[in-house]
């Protein structure tokens, strides 16, 4: 299911983009991106992230934001955290792929604080949401308990007031415009009634993002 | 003029000369990557306590800054991501540790600004969230920003790959992270390095921290 979401999200990313992938399902997106067509940015200081190294070639000082070993591609550059977040906040990163706990019907994202726990970790989530041009949220459609994650209004603390650009789940792809969520694609074999039944947020139906044969049915 | 070689001292000596009870201390590193491990071990062996630690996170339970916390030396932590260490969560809940949480980009920019002599800056990050509570909001060109104060510290402990005897620093890969900014933003800066070479041996085009920021050099005894 996570692979399905990651694969679908990869196809929303335009060739030539500078892309920051968050921890979790977003990291899987790199498997479906043409490494020669995009530049992966990690906020701990590298533009030009390459695939994980074989175990005998791990460099402990070369990691991604999830602290996993990575490599660097030809043309990569290293920089410090302040410069890295200047790239993010300054609008120089084209696409951020983020996980989320909830998204509301206007596209607002809650992805950093869990109810009941003290609020002690935020990382780069707010900077990415605030600064990156296209924000793609990836998440499972429901919580483990079966509750919808696409809600009328977030009950969890918001990560920012800037809405996501797209929301991708295992059931559907939504685009976000000024008025809110627009259903633009359903996963193969998923009827509209299923999306409606499992989505608490109100949404409109819109035109598919991709031509027939590339959108619904092939994700 | 100070003789260049004078900057190289022992880690324990560097901590003894610069720290004091109640000091604020910046510590570089993203997790343990780029963390000055030898200096943190020396800090843990020192008598100093009641410290304010400015570091992105406080590591893992019992390791390095996680040990500093277990030793009861930290009064306040300023950073962006503390949830990975359950000791932090517990100390915060028990009221023995104060935590100031900042978005990572605000944390790094506040240090950069502090080192550059700025008092504060307006950022769009965090507007409308819990982390903006109590902060001034101001609109510029139709967009809302919050006022964040710059950060400085009494001491910075940073990690670099190589230094020359003057204190010029060259970093390595993603171990760079918060270190260059922290090296600009503290009253006293101690840099832990793998190797110290003669002036002229480092490529001047690659020096990320010029020597005027660095007070003491320490050779790394502990590695990832």
* Secondary structure letter of residue A105 according to DSSP: T
Pairwise CB contact (< 8 Å): A120 & B176: no
Exposed / middle / buried, residue A183 (Cβ in 10 Å: 0-12, 13-18, 19+)? buried
The question of whether A193 is a catalytic residue gets the answer no
Average pLDDT, chain B: 96
Q: Quick check: is A87 in a domain?
A: yes
Pairwise CB contact (< 8 Å): B129 & A130: no
List the domain boundaries for chain B. 4-117+150-219
The arithmetic mean of pLDDT across residues B159-167, rounded, is: 98
Chain B positions touching A53 (Cβ under 8 A) are none
Alpha-helix residue ranges (DSSP H) falling in A115-205: 125-131, 192-197
Q: What is the pLDDT of residue B49?
A: 98
Best of A71, A120, A161 to disrupt the B interface (most B CBs within 10 Å) is A120
| Confidence tier at A211 by pLDDT (50, 70, 90) | low
Chain B positions touching A93 (Cβ under 8 A) are none
Helix, strand, coil abundance in chain B, percent, nearest 5: 25, 30, 45
Pairwise CB contact (< 8 Å): A121 & B105: no
Q: What is the pLDDT of residues A71-93, one digit of tens each?
A: 999 999 999 999 999 999 999 99
Spatial strand order in the sheet of B120-123:
B120-123, B143-149, B137-140
Given A3, A43, A105, A205, the catalytic residue: A43
Q: What domain range is A97 assigned to? A: 2-41+81-205
**CATH code assigned at A147:** 3.40.1080.10
The arithmetic mean of pLDDT across residues A113-127, rounded, is: 90
What the block records as the tokens of A91 is: 């609008």
List residues bridging with B138 in a β-sheet.
B145
Q: Quick check: is A140 in a domain?
A: yes
Q: Quick check: is A57 in a domain?
A: no
What are phi and psi for residue B173, nearest 5 degrees?
Answer: 45, -140
Whether A36 and A62 have beta carbons less than 8 Å apart is answered as no
- pTM (whole model) above 0.80: yes
Q: How many domains does chain A have?
A: 1
Helix (H, G, I), strand (E, B) or coil at A125: helix
Chain A positions touching B34 (Cβ under 8 A) are 61
A73 close contact with B: CB closer than 8 A: no
List residues bridging with B24 in a β-sheet.
B52
Q: Quick check: is A62 in a domain?
A: no
The domain defined by B4-117+150-219 folds into Glutaconate Coenzyme A-transferase (3.40.1080)
Pairwise CB contact (< 8 Å): B224 & A117: no
| Cβ neighbours for A131, distance < 8 A, ≥ 6 positions apart | A88, A89, A90, A91, A93, B105, B124, B125
Q: Quick check: is A51 in a domain?
A: no
| pLDDT tops 60 at residue A219 | no
């Amino acid at each position: 299911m996570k692979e399905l979401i990651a694969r679908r999200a990869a196809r929303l990313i335009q060739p030539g983009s500078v892309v920051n992938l968050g921890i979790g399902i977003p990291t899987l997106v790199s498997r479906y991106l043409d490494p020669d067509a995009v530049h992966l940015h990690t906020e701990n200081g590298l533009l030009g992230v390459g695939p994980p190294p074989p175990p005998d070639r791990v460099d402990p000082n070369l990691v991604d934001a999830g602290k996993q070993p990575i490599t660097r591609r030809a043309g990569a550059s290293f920089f410090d955290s302040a410069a890295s977040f200047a790239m993010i906040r300054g609008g120089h990163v084209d696409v951020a792929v983020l996980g989320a706990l909830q998204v509301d019907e206007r596209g607002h994202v809650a992805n950093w604080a869990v109810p009941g726990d003290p609020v002690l970790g935020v990382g780069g989530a707010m900077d990415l949401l605030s600064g990156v041009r296209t924000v793609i949220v990836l998440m499972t459609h429901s919580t483990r308990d079966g509750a919808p994650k696409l809600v009328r209004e977030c009950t969890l603390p918001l990560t920012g007031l800037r809405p996501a650009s797209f929301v991708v789940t295992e059931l559907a792809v939504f685009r976000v415009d000024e008025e809110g969520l627009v259903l633009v694609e359903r996963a193969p074999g998923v009827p509209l009634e299923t999306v409606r039944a499992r989505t608490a947020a109100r949404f409109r139906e819109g035109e598919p993002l991709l031509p027939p044969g590339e959108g619904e049915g092939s994700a | 003029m100070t003789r260049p070689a004078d900057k190289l001292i022992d880690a324990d000596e560097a901590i003894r000369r610069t720290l004091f009870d109640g000091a604020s201390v910046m510590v570089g590193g993203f997790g343990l990557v780029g963390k000055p491990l030898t200096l943190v071990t020396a800090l843990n062996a020192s008598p100093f306590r009641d410290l304010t630690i400015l570091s992105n996170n406080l590591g893992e339970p019992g390791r390095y800054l996680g040990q500093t916390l277990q030793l009861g030396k930290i009064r306040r932590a300023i950073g962006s991501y503390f949830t990975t260490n359950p000791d932090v969560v517990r100390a915060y809940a028990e009221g023995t540790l104060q935590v100031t949480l900042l978005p990572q980009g605000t944390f790094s920019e506040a240090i950069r600004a502090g080192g550059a002599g700025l008092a504060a800056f307006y950022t769009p990050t965090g507007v409308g969230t819990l982390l903006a509570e109590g902060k001034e909001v101001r609109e510029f060109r139709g967009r809302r920003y919050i006022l964040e104060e710059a950060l400085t510290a009494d001491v910075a402990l940073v990690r670099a790959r190589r230094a020359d005897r003057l204190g010029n620093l060259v970093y390595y890969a993603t171990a760079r992270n918060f270190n260059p900014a922290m090296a600009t933003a503290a009253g006293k800066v101690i840099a832990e390095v793998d190797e110290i070479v003669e002036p002229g041996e480092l490529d001047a085009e690659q020096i990320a921290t010029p020597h005027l920021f660095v007070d003491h050099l320490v050779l790394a005894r502990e590695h990832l």
